[in-house]
Structure 1
Amino acid sequence: MELDFPHHYEALGDRTLCVTPDHKFGTDAFLLSDFAAPRRKDLACDLGTGCGIIPMLWFRRPEDAPKLAFGVDIQQKAIAQLTASVEKNGLGGRLIPICADLKDLPPQLESGRFDLVTCNPPYKVEGGGILSEWESEKIARHETQCSLADVVAAAARLLKFGGRFCLCQRPERLCDVLTLLRQQGLEPKRVRFVQQRPGSAPWLFLCEGKKGAKPFLQVEAPLLIEGEDGFSEELLKIYGKR
């Protein structure tokens, strides 16, 4: 696929990913992809996928990749990038890009069918913070196109009984996330806070809700970004450097 806008490819192990200034990725995407840990038999879907970093990371090791994955985004440029990445990596039929609004998902994304849904959602509520002048950043960072409630509702529709929804969010929105998950029948089962170093306040948390599960929340050990000599061993492993 030929793209008519400036772009380049970044290495993800044996894979490559098409990125642009509009649709790129950060550490939180690596953390969420690892936290979600799809199984080989899973049917998975990443909502608000952007350049497709999260599902592409799942396919770094073909033996551990889900059976089939979808990457959904409302922005056509993001989906064009993911489509180019899929073609370049020979993942046609395994990773399917879809341009759609998660509030109005197409029939191809059948309700009650999915084992795993993920989302790295906008962190800022509508009207919170200074909006970026770039439309792509505005959509990614602020709830201008969808709210956290919309994201959780979409995940609940897609998941089968026992299916998992994994997301990341800022700590100040922990109560919002847990409340919305339970309201949609996605019982919070795991929470893990991400800290820059021991003793520092968390700047992110990872959370898993399970459809139809009984109440029991496991708070996992913090994930540390820094170690004694730079990045922590766990983060290096997540990055694929170990």
Structure 2
Amino acid sequence: MTGTDLDAAGFGAGFSFESLGEGYSVCVSAEHRFGTDAFLLAEFSAPRRKDSVCDLCSGNGIVALLMSRNFHPERIYAVELQDKAYRQLCLSAKESNAYEILPVHADLRQWRAQTQLDLVTCNPPYKVDNTGIKNDSDEVTIARHETMCSIDDVCLAAKRSLRYGGRLCICNRPERLADVICSMRANGIEPKRLRTVQKDRSSDPWLILVEGRLGGSPFMRIESPLYIKGENGEPYSEEMKRIYRLG
């Protein structure tokens, strides 16, 4: 379906679809696209087939789509506040025939799942409000800065909906690691796994992946770094080829 088709359907201008393979497609726009971090978060969270899952700050639905394609959990609530992103999320789920994805147009600060969840994922805004350069688009600013949603909000929302022992998986920038850990613990979610992501072996981490368990006992496993590039200058490491499904 093209942007013109979407206009005719009454969904507004500027939408298009990008194929994810295996019959899955994600609806993208200038304001709401996706990056490598979405693939990494979906892979890191690895829901089970019987799991009830929620993806907070779902945007155009990319993380929910990847979890559906790769792991086939029983249901995935995909919660998004912004109108345009929510429309893209609905279109993504419909175009992909991903009926287990349940789009939710809501503010995560007030939302609670109808059933206890096994897993909550979130790719939240990375930048603290009133820091850094803000985009002219309010939609992009909300997606990148904590104007409408903070790490504390995410952890509290997860606490409300997770079953005891349920997992929260978050990706963020390395400089926010202390904020993620402190907020998890403040909400009774014990950090259990940490993995850093580096472009190559000589570079500093540019992303962190953190898993916590509601009511878990103190013990965190630090996993080996994930490298984007291969050892001999290849664009992708073997692990990234597997994550991207490049053969």
TM-score bin, normalised by smaller chain: over 0.9
Q: Which blocks of at least 5 consecutive residues in structure 2 are unaligned?
A: 1-5
The equivalent of 1:26 in structure 2 is 35
Quote the offset at 1:129 in angstroms.
0.6
Match of residue 101 from structure 1: 107
CA-CA distance at 1:146 after TM superposition: 1.3
How far residue 91 of structure 1 moved from its aligned partner, in angstroms, is: 2.0
Whether contact under 8 Å (1:71, 1:97) holds in the other structure is yes
The question of 1:10 aligning with 2:10 is answered: no
Q: Percent identity?
A: 46
Does residue 158 of structure 1 match 2:161? yes
- 2:221 corresponds to which of 218, 222, 225: 218
Q: 2:209 aligns with which of 189, 194, 206?
A: 206
2:31 match: secondary structure? coil
Is the Cα contact below 8 Å between 1:122 and 1:139 reproduced in 2?
A: yes
Tell me the number of residue pairs that the alignment of Structure 1 and Structure 2 aligns.
236
What is the TM-score normalised by the length of structure 2?
A: 0.92
Alignment of 1:141 onto 2:148: no
Task: Confirm or deny that 1:66 pairs with 2:73.
Answer: yes
What secondary structure, in the 3-state scheme, does the structure 1 residue paired with 2:205 have? coil
Q: Which residue of 1 aligns with 2:65?
A: 56
Q: Is residue 65–residue 98 contact of structure 2 (8 Å, CA) maintained in 1?
A: no
| Alignment correspondent of 1:241 | 246
The CA deviation string for residues 181-217 of structure 1, in whole angstroms up to 9 with x for no partner, is 1111110000000011002110110000001111110
Inter-partner Cα distance in structure 1 for 2:166 and 2:36: 25
Q: Stretches of 4+ moved more than 6 A in 1?
A: none
- Structure 1: tracts of 5 or more residues without a match: none
Offset from partner CA, 1:108-129 (integer Å, 9 cap, x none)? x236x00000000111111111
- Normalising by structure 1, we get a TM-score of 0.94
Give, in angstroms, the shift of residue 76 of structure 1: 1.3
Amino acid at match of 1:24: R
Shift of 1:147: 1.2
